Amino acid sequence: MGATRNNQSRAVTKEKILQLIQNLLEQGENAFPSERELAVRTGGSRGVIRGILEELEQEDRLRQTPNGRIIHPQANLIPVLFAAVGRNMVENRSWAKLWFTLSRLAPRYGIKPELVLVGWPREKAYPAIRQIQESRAKYLIVTCHDFFQSLQFDFDSKFTIFTDEDALRQHDHVISLDNREAGRLAARTLYEAGYRNPTLVTENFSFLYFPYEQRAKGFLEECRNLGIPREEKDIFTIPLYRGISEKEIIERVFAVGEQIAKAKCFDSLFYITDERVPLLCDTLMEFGIRLPEDMEIISLNATGSRMNYRFPFTTLSVATEGIATRILEEISRMEREKTTDLKPIRIPPFIHTQETVYQKKGSYRCI
């Protein structure tokens, strides 16, 4: 009973049927072939196929109708967990945007994502960790690998995909923005617009954050390639250590803005992250720098939408759509090929085609 013709095992026959279900779902079909057609398509015996179909009906993955069996789409979706620290989803909008994009695109790939918000501080995180461990989902997407690591989370309990390039220090399964290319693109964009004396503003934490380091390296490398090498005096670092107060952050950004304004030599500026761009720009203008007449600003845009500032300036996308799409493609591929082979994938950024605009009193508007 366990064998089929051509010595094909029951397990192989079932795997072919399950793959057929996924293929039909991806094509938007829910009508399922008859036992006779399945025998031809899979190479399995009708007796074995009948038993497999009865199992799938009991699991509600297939349903009987007067016109034959149909696929129950929801029961056949691949369950995937998306874990993020709740605080980060508010403070770091790129993770929230990634979740929204992923959940919008997932049905096309036969994937059912579930959001798991992890509490903060550590003692509030354990209920969510238990939820992850008890879930039948095989795949886990993690945005905050360092926090999970501090909880001594067993990443081997799920096939974990990391969305922050910083995770490459310990893990291989990373699908993230190509941060080095982001820095290169910023330098090329300023150069092509005619700017020849850019400054770089970066941020430094109590630990070395790999994505920021890569953006800075890419920017400085490309500046050298373009014949405008930057020296130490052309680079400004804002120290932002853990536990720093909001008042201290403002003071440190203000101090860097003052130094840049008083140097009176820079025609453009690349800030490697967008969170404090408005504060820095306000500081520059307080010290007499007219923006954008005296200085062009370029930064990353965490949400992939129009950023909030008083004048048009250039932004790089963090490639949220590309990252979400590639994650879904890779999960679908690994399910189809029955493999766990996933090498690091870096998604290139691009320049926003629409201007980034801010209205001091009002809401976003399109240009």
Residue position matching structure tokens 């503003």: 201
103/97 Cα distance (integer angstroms): 10
**How confident is the model over 27-79, as pLDDT tens digits?**
878 888 988 899 889 988 888 999 999 998 888 888 888 888 888 776 678 89
- Amino acid identity for residue 27 in this structure: Q
- Amino acid identity for residue 124 in this structure: K
Residue position matching structure tokens 């397990």: 11
List the beta strands (DSSP E) in 175-306: 175-177, 198-204, 235-239, 268-271, 296-301
DSSP-derived 3-state class of residue 218 = helix
DSSP annotation of 291:
T
CATH class entry, domain 77-177+322-347: alpha beta
Q: Which CATH superfamily is domain 179-317 in?
A: Response regulator (3.40.50.2300)
**Would you state the pLDDT for residue 309?**
53
What's the whole-model pTM score? 0.80
**Would you state the pLDDT for residue 120?**
81
Residue position matching structure tokens 């950004």: 253
DSSP annotation of 207:
S
**How confident is the model over 3-17, as pLDDT tens digits?**
445 568 888 898 899
139/286 Cα distance (integer angstroms): 50
DSSP annotation of 354:
S
**Would you state the pLDDT for residue 110?**
83
The pLDDT of 157-170, averaged and rounded, is 94
Higher-confidence residue of 129 and 358: namely 129
Is the per-residue pLDDT at 366 higher than 80? no
Percentage, residues of the chain above pLDDT 70: 88
- Amino acid identity for residue 30 in this structure: N
Distances (CA, A) of 29 to 22, 112, 202, 332: 10, 17, 50, 17
49/37 Cα distance (integer angstroms): 10
Q: Residues with Cβ < 8 Å from 324, sequence gap 6 or more? A: 98, 101, 102, 105
Q: Which fold has domain 5-75?
A: Arc Repressor Mutant, subunit A (1.10.10)
Residue position matching structure tokens 């057929």: 20
Burial 27-57 (b: 16+ CB within 10 A, else e): eeebebbeeeebbeebebbeebbebbbeebe
Highest mean pLDDT among 1-10, 100-109, 200-209: 100-109
**Segments of the chain assigned to CATH 3.40.50.2300:** 77-177+322-347, 179-317
Cβ(314)–Cβ(192) below 8 Å = no
Token reading at 152: 């001594």
Token reading at 236: 């400004």
Token reading at 191: 């150069």
Calculate the CA 230 to chain-centre distance. 31
Residue position matching structure tokens 């949400």: 303
**Would you state the pLDDT for residue 270?**
96
**How confident is the model over 276-292, as pLDDT tens digits?**
888 999 999 999 999 88
**Interior CA angle at 107 toward 101 and 93, to 5°?**
15
71/78 Cα distance (integer angstroms): 14
**How confident is the model over 312-324, as pLDDT tens digits?**
667 888 889 999 9
